[in-house]
Structure 1
Amino acid sequence: MQITTNPEGRTILVGKAIFTPDEVNQGFEQVYKDNVSRVKIPGFRPGKAPFKIFASHVGIESMKEDFTEIAARQALKEMLSGKTIRVVGNPTFEVDSFDGPLNLTIKVSFIPDYELSDPSKITIAVPKFDVTDADLNKAIDNIRGRYASMAPVDRKAKKGDFVYFKWSVITDGRASDRKKEELVEIGMEDFVKDFDKNLVGVKSGDIKIVMAEISSGQEPVEIEINIGEIKERILPNLDDDFAKTLHVENVEALKDIVKNELLEQAKDAKEEYIESMIAKALLEKTNIELPENLIESSVDDEIEKLARDLSKKNITLEMYLEKRGINEEQLRAELTPKATNQAKLDVILDDYSKENSIEASEEEVDQEIEAISNAMKDARRPALNENDEQVRKNLARIIKRRKTVGYLMGKVQLTEK
C-alpha cells in the first residue's frame, strides 16, 4: 500500500491510498477466509467451498465492498501512525477507482492544537447581588398576592387591575358580531404583545378601537374592545394571623424565611453570572478552530433540546417551523453560532479538566445519584438506577464539568462593578 497525507484546511487530514492488484488479491483471500465458514453454499460443507466457487456465489462486488472496508482500516491506521491528533467523529472514505488497483480517499476530522488561557489572568467585574428591603417587600407581596381577593372598582383602570372585555376584529369598517372574551391583568402582557397599554385609563362601558398583533409575527389588525367589569386585587393584611396561615409563627419569622430564600437565590444568581462571564472570556481569549462535523453535531443537540422544550408545551418541531415560516435548514443556520460556541466551550472545559486531572470519583457519582433519587422520591417519581452504566457515565460528566467550572471560578480575578 502506498499512502500520502495532506491537510485540507486546518481541521481535516486527507489520505490518498493505493492498493496494488497483488494486494487486492491478497485482500480477497482474506475476505474468503473470514467469510467462507459463514456462507451457506449448496453442495459444500461450511468452510469447504473453494475460493472461485465462493467468489462466484457471493459476487465480486460484494468481495470488493468487504475488502474496501479492510483496506480503509489499514490506510487509516497508517495515516495516523506517529501522529498525535485529536480525531473527531468517524473518518470517511471514498473509492476513487477499483479496476485492478484500489484507489481510496480517507478524510479524518480533528481538532488542531491550541493554547489554553491562564485563568488567573482573567478579570471579571461582578455587579452586586444584594437583597434590599424593596426586594423583600416585593417577595412578601407576591406571597400575599396568592391569597388576594378581588373587588369591583368604579374608576379608571390602572396597572395591576384585572379588566374583563370583549373584542372582535374590524373588517371594512365594521366590527365582527363574533366577539371573544378576555380577562387581563394590566401589566402582565398575557393577551398579546404590547396590548396592556390600551387598557390603562379605561372605565367600565368604554368602547375603544385599537391596533393589535393578534397573531405572532403577523401585521397588527384593527380591533374593537368593549370594556366590562374592572376589579382590583385586595391583598390580605400582613400580620401574624396571615403568617399563621402559612404555618409560620409570626410576620418577623416569615420575613426571615423569605429573606434567606432571597439570599440563596442571590448567591445562585451571582455564581451563574460569574460562570457565564468565564465562558464568555474563555471563548474570546481562546483561539480554537473546530471541524465541521463537530459543529453539526452540536447543532443537532440544540435542535433536540428545542424539540424537547416544545414538546412540554404540546408543540412539535414541525408546528414550530410552520408557525415561524422557516424550514429546518434555516433553523440550523440560526442555531449554528450558539452551537459553535457551545462546542468550543465543551472542548475547552474538557481540556482544563485533563490539564488539572479533574475527574469524578465513584463516591461522588453515588452521592449524586442518592441526592437525585431523594428529590425524585419526594416528587413521587422513580429513583435512578445506580447500576445503569450510562446513567453513571452521564452523571460523572456533569460532576466533572461542575468541578472544572469551580476550579476556574477559584482562579479568575473578581472585582466589584
Structure 2
Amino acid sequence: MKISVRNLEPTKVKLTVTVDPEEFDPYLDQARKEIAKQITIPGFRKGHVPGKIVDQRVGFGAVAGEAVNTAVPELYSKALEQKKIRPMAQPELDVKELPTSASDDTKVKFIATVERRPEIELPKIEGMTLEVAKTEVSDEDVDKRLDNLRQRFGTLVGVDRPAKKGDFANIDLDAQIDGESVDSQEGVSYELGSGKLLDGIDEALEGLSAGEETTFEGMLESGEHEGEKAQIKVKVNSVKTEELPKLDDDFAQEASEFDTLDELKADIRKACERDSEGRQANEARDVFIEALKKDIEIPLPSGVRKSMIEDRLKQLTADPDKATDEQKKEAEEATDKELEDQIVLDTLAEQLDVKVSQMDVTNFLTSIAQQYGMDPSAFINAIVQNGQLGSAVQEVGRSKGLLAGMRAVKFTCEGKDLDLTPFLGEDEALEDAEESESIEAASAAAAVADELSGKDKAE
C-alpha cells in the first residue's frame, strides 16, 4: 500500500492511498463469499458458489463494490496509523480507481480528506511547580447552606397583601400578538425575583394583590413565536410567602441526626471544607492545563470548530439563526477552549504513553449511565450503535493523561506543598497487566450491551 500525504491546512490533510492487487484480493474473496450466501444458483449449495461463478452471475463490478465498502475504511485506518495522523472528524472518502474485471491489474486508489489533530510541542512537566489559589470556608458559606436546608422544611402561607420579591404567586398568563392569543397558561406558580419565566414579569407582578391583573410587553422565549414581542396579560390568583423554621436545636433534630444546632453547623462546615478542597483540586487542574497551553499556538480544525459552535448555539437558543452576538461569542469562546484543551490533553496522553483498558471504558460509561438513572447496558449499547465508542475511549485517555500529568508536577498554595492525592489517586505505574490493555481493547466494552439500547444527554 502506497500512501502520499498532502497538508491542506495545519489541521487538514489529504491522503492518497494506492492499494496493490494482492492486498485487495482478500477483500474481493470475502465479498464473493458474502454474496454467495445471498444468491441461489442451480447445481451449487448456497454459500458454496465458486468465485468465478459469482463474478459471472452478479458482475465483477458488484463484487468490487462490496469489497471496497469493507476495504477502504480498514485501509484508511491503517494509513492513519502508518503516517501517525490523529483524525478529529470523519473523513471524506473518494474512490478514484477500481479494477473492472478479475484479470484487470488496475490498482485500487482512493483519496481521504480529513481534519487532523495538529502537532504541538508541550512544555516538559518534570520539575514543574504550579501555584494554586487558596480556597477558604467562610461563615457566609455555612449560613448559605444552612438556609438552603431551612428552605427544604419551609412552608408557603397565603398573605393578604401586594406581592413582593421572594413571594410565590399563582398566576394566569395570556400572550397576544396583534390582538390574537398565541399562548396561554393557567395556575402557574412563580417566585418573584427569580427571573425564570419572562423578562418584565417581576416588575409587572410586584405590587399586585390576589385578584388583580396587568399587561406588560415581553419577548416570548419558546414556542412557535419565540423571539417575538407580545402583549402579556397576567392575573394574580393568590400570593404566598415562605415561612422558614426557626434556627434552634429543635430544627437541628428535625432536619438532621444531630441534637443541637451547633453540632449541625459543625457538620455543615466540614461539608463546606470538603467542597472547598474539591474546588481547589479543580483549580489545580485548570492551572495545569493553562500551563501546558502557555506560549503555544494551537491551530483549530475549522470544520470541527464550526460544527461544535452550531451545536452549542442549539443549546443556547431554539433557533441558532436568530442567536444574538453575545450568544455567538459565548459559543465560540467555549468551543475554542474545549478544542484547545482536548488537543493538549490528547497530546499529553500520547506523550505519557497512556493505556486505556476495556475496564476503564466500561467503568466510565457505567458511571455516566448511573448519573442519569439509565441502565448501563442500554447506555453502552447506544454508545456502540451510534458509533461513539471511540469518543468514549478518547475521553478516558484524556482523563488518565491529565491525572498522570498532574501527579508528575508539584502544586503549592501560599508557598506550601499542596497534597492532591485524595483527588488524583496513587501512581498507576504498577497497575495489573490486565488493566493495561491497549486502546483497541476498549472496543470489547460493547460486549456488556447486547440486548438493550438507549440514549441520554450529558451536561
Normalising by the smaller structure, the TM-score range is 0.5 to 0.7
| C-alpha spacing 1:210/1:7, structure 2 compared with 1 (3 Å) | closer
- Is 1:345 matched with 2:346? no
Contact 2:361/2:393, CA 8 A, preserved across alignment: no
Instruction: Provide the C-alpha distance between the structure 2 equivalents of 1:279 and 1:56, rounded to a whole number of angstroms.
Output: 61
Aligned to 1:218: 227
- Return the TM-score normalized by structure 2: 0.60
Aligned to 1:95: 96
Aligned to 2:57: 57
Instruction: After TM superposition, give the deviation of residue 352 of structure 1 in Å.
Output: 1.9
- Is 1:324 matched with 2:319? yes
Aligned to 2:278: 268
- How is 1:137-152 mapped onto 2 (pairs within 5 angstroms)? 137-152=143-158
- Is 1:250 matched with 2:250? no
Instruction: After TM superposition, give the deviation of residue 56 of structure 1 in Å.
Output: 2.8
Instruction: After TM superposition, give the deviation of residue 115 of structure 1 in Å.
Output: 0.8
Q: Which has the larger radius of gyration?
A: 1
Instruction: Provide the C-alpha distance between the structure 1 equivalents of 2:137 and 2:191, rounded to a whole number of angstroms.
Output: 27
- Return the TM-score normalized by structure 1: 0.65
Instruction: After TM superposition, give the deviation of residue 241 of structure 1 in Å.
Output: 1.2
Q: Secondary structure at the match of 2:264?
A: helix
Instruction: After TM superposition, give the deviation of residue 161 of structure 1 in Å.
Output: 1.9
Instruction: After TM superposition, give the deviation of residue 255 of structure 1 in Å.
Output: 0.6
Output one character per residue of 1:35-57: Cα deviation in whole Å (capped at 9) or x when no partner.
48984654578979695x66433
Instruction: After TM superposition, give the deviation of residue 285 of structure 1 in Å.
Output: 4.3
Name the amino acid aligned to 2:403.
Answer: G
Instruction: After TM superposition, give the deviation of residue 31 of structure 1 in Å.
Output: 4.6
Contact 2:91/2:112, CA 8 A, preserved across alignment: no
Output one character per residue of 1:226-256: Cα deviation in whole Å (capped at 9) or x when no partner.
4454332222111111111123211011111
Aligned to 2:13: 12
**Structure 1 runs not aligned, ≥5 long:** 307-316
- How is 1:352-367 mapped onto 2 (pairs within 5 angstroms)? 352-359=348-355
- How is 1:164-183 mapped onto 2 (pairs within 5 angstroms)? 164-169=170-175, 180-183=186-189
Of 162, 168, 173, the residue aligned with 1:162 is: 168
Aligned to 1:239: 248
**Structure 2 runs not aligned, ≥5 long:** 415-459
Contact 2:31/2:67, CA 8 A, preserved across alignment: no
| C-alpha spacing 1:42/1:229, structure 2 compared with 1 (3 Å) | closer
Output one character per residue of 1:99-119: Cα deviation in whole Å (capped at 9) or x when no partner.
774572432645453212345
Name the amino acid aligned to 1:56.
Answer: Q
For CA contacts below 8 A with separation 6 or more, give which structure has more relative contact order: 1
Instruction: Provide the C-alpha distance between the structure 2 equivalents of 1:72 and 1:393, rounded to a whole number of angstroms.
Output: 19
| C-alpha spacing 1:242/1:163, structure 2 compared with 1 (3 Å) | same
Instruction: Provide the C-alpha distance between the structure 1 equivalents of 2:148 and 2:177, rounded to a whole number of angstroms.
Output: 41
Instruction: Provide the C-alpha distance between the structure 2 equivalents of 1:273 and 1:234, rounded to a whole number of angstroms.
Output: 38
Instruction: Provide the C-alpha distance between the structure 1 equivalents of 2:266 and 2:250, rounded to a whole number of angstroms.
Output: 16
| C-alpha spacing 1:12/1:201, structure 2 compared with 1 (3 Å) | same
Output one character per residue of 1:326-356: Cα deviation in whole Å (capped at 9) or x when no partner.
59xxx9xx97875665455334323323433
Matched residues, percent identical? Answer: 19
What is the aligned residue count? 381
- Is 1:404 matched with 2:405? no
Contact 1:122/1:412, CA 8 A, preserved across alignment: yes
Instruction: Provide the C-alpha distance between the structure 1 equivalents of 2:92 and 2:109, rounded to a whole number of angstroms.
Output: 13
| C-alpha spacing 1:226/1:251, structure 2 compared with 1 (3 Å) | same
Contact 2:177/2:230, CA 8 A, preserved across alignment: no
Name the amino acid aligned to 1:239.
Answer: D
Instruction: After TM superposition, give the deviation of residue 151 of structure 1 in Å.
Output: 3.4
